[in-house]
Amino acid sequence: MAGSAKEGHWQKSEGQEESEVKVFTCSPPPSHQGLLSSHHHGYSLLPGSPLTLSLQGPRFCTQPCLFFNLANSFGNSPFMKLPTNYPIGTCHLFLTRTLTELNTGTASDQICDLKKSKTPYDLWCFLGAGPFPGIIDLFGSGGGLCEYRASLLAGHGFAVLALAYFRFEGLPDFLDDMHLEYFEEAVDFMLQHPKVKGPNVGLLGFSKGGDLCLSMASFLKGITATVLINSCVSNTVAPLHYKDMLIPSLGSDPGRCTINESGFLRFVDVWDNPLEEPNHLSIIPLERAQGPFLFLVGMDDHSWKSGFYAQIASERLQAHGKDRPQIIYYSGTGHCIEPPYFPPCRVSVHTVLGQAVLHGGEPQAQSRAQVDAWQQIQTFFQKHLNGKKSVPSSKI
């Protein structure tokens, strides 16, 4: 079989269709000297385009959006009306939100009344009557509520739900046993919301959030398109429960973790091979999914073997008579594929481990990959959620 899933580097085989795999390469010009400044600002690493972005608070959208928040109520009041000068960064404290104009960072006087829920939802919507194609956005094993990608996607005509699943208000501090019913509630919330265009939604998952999206697509109804950013094909970190079913976590050995010359942890060899006994039980049965997949893979991922996992997924789908997924491989690109013009994250202090972890990626290759991946995500969701065959190119 072309591109067979084996340990090591993946290479395109002769005669393989171009639609399945795209390797994104770049040759940076010698004159380029893109640099990063502080934690709070990033500069474009693309030659001749020095774009500066503030990274404080969810203010990245280039067009006005609606922001809805479902969290705990504030005191005894079912909602709070935010003054126009209220800091946007603390918005998740409130059960309901005012209209948020992200281009100015202020809130208007319009109150959006939403139903109560046990799950902390942050729903970003394009400003307008709607309804809009719906997407649920999940991040990785760092936990918490990450809103910036959802707010950016909303600016392109989507309703995007940023969903926390641990290390947030009312949620577990660590990933132990996980229950898919929690995520099923989020899907139901989206499909019932008047701003969301049914009858299905899409999923966008990064790292651990990616394998959760695979599980959601495989077992839950109402999901028609799934994008995975450097995801594993197996359930990872903690066992996953759904009704009377249990998917164990992929085996791992922390003793295989290495430390590079700079003192950064490298986890790529920690994880067991999903194809070996008994780890095959951890592989998610993605052949049960009702919609297509897009895998975005960094070929310099130092967190795990994302390319190997994507090829396992492709072979498994084809073995069950399903279409091959779209897989895009980005050379020189690490684990953290962010929206365009965000600083490439080669190393970060993991919020749970409290130690510096090497994610991989070369600055220019990573920056170019982030620009292309952002366009690929929009095109994929517009095609499968909104019936559009082409999407205008966008900077962010």
- Would residue 81 count as lying in a domain? no
Within-domain flag for 159: yes
300 part of the active site: no
| Separation between Cα atoms, residue 303 and residue 328, nearest integer Å | 18
Spatial distance between the Cα atoms of 26 and 46, rounded to a whole number of angstroms: 11
Cis bond before residue 131 (omega within 30° of 0): yes
Instruction: State how far Cα 377 lies from the chain centre.
Output: 10
Q: Alpha-carbon distance 252 to 346, whole Å?
A: 23
Q: Given a cut of 60, is residue 289 above it in pLDDT?
A: yes
Residue 70 or 138, more confident = 138
Lowest-confidence region among 85-89, 280-284, 343-347? 85-89
Give the mean pLDDT of the chain: 75
Average pLDDT for 96-116: 27
Number of domain units in the chain:
1
Distance, in Å, from the CA atom of 96 to the CA atom of 78, rounded to the nearest integer, reads 8
In the residue annotation, 302 being an active-site residue is answered as no
Distance CA 340, CA 368 (A): 8
Whether residue 78 is predicted with pLDDT greater than 80 in this model: the reply is no
Q: What is the pTM of this model?
A: 0.75
Q: Is 281 exposed, middle or buried (0-12, 13-18, 19+ CB in 10 A)?
A: middle
pLDDT at 385: 96
- Between CA 259 and CA 55 the distance in angstroms is 29
Confidence of residue 362 (pLDDT cuts 50, 70, 90): very high
pLDDT in tens, 212-242: 999 999 999 999 999 999 999 999 999 999 9
Active-site annotation holds for 9: no
Containing domain of residue 273, as a range? 110-386
Q: Are strands 245-247 and 132-138 parallel, antiparallel or unpaired?
A: unpaired
| Integer Cα distance of 5 and 306 in angstroms | 11
Q: Which of 151, 207, 231, 303 is catalytic?
A: 207
Please indicate, yes or no, if residue 334 is contained in any of the structural domains.
Answer: yes
Q: Is residue 309 part of a domain?
A: yes
Q: Which of 301, 359, 367, 384 is catalytic?
A: 301
CATH (domain of 116): 3.40.50.1820
Domain annotation covers residue 231 = yes
**213 lies in some domain:** yes
Average pLDDT over residues 289-315: 97
CA distances from 226 to 24, 33, 195, 330, 356 (A): 21, 36, 20, 19, 30
- Is residue 304 a contact partner of residue 268, using CB atoms and an 8 Å limit? yes
Residue 24 lies in a domain: no
**Model confidence pLDDT, tens digit, residues 139-175:** 988 888 889 999 999 999 999 999 999 888 888 888 8
* Residue 41 domain-assigned (yes or no): no
Q: Greater confidence, 115 or 190?
A: 190
Catalytic annotation, pick one of 92, 335, 359, 384: 335
30-57: per-residue pLDDT in tens? 333 322 222 222 333 343 433 322 222 3
Q: Give pLDDT, residue 352.
A: 67
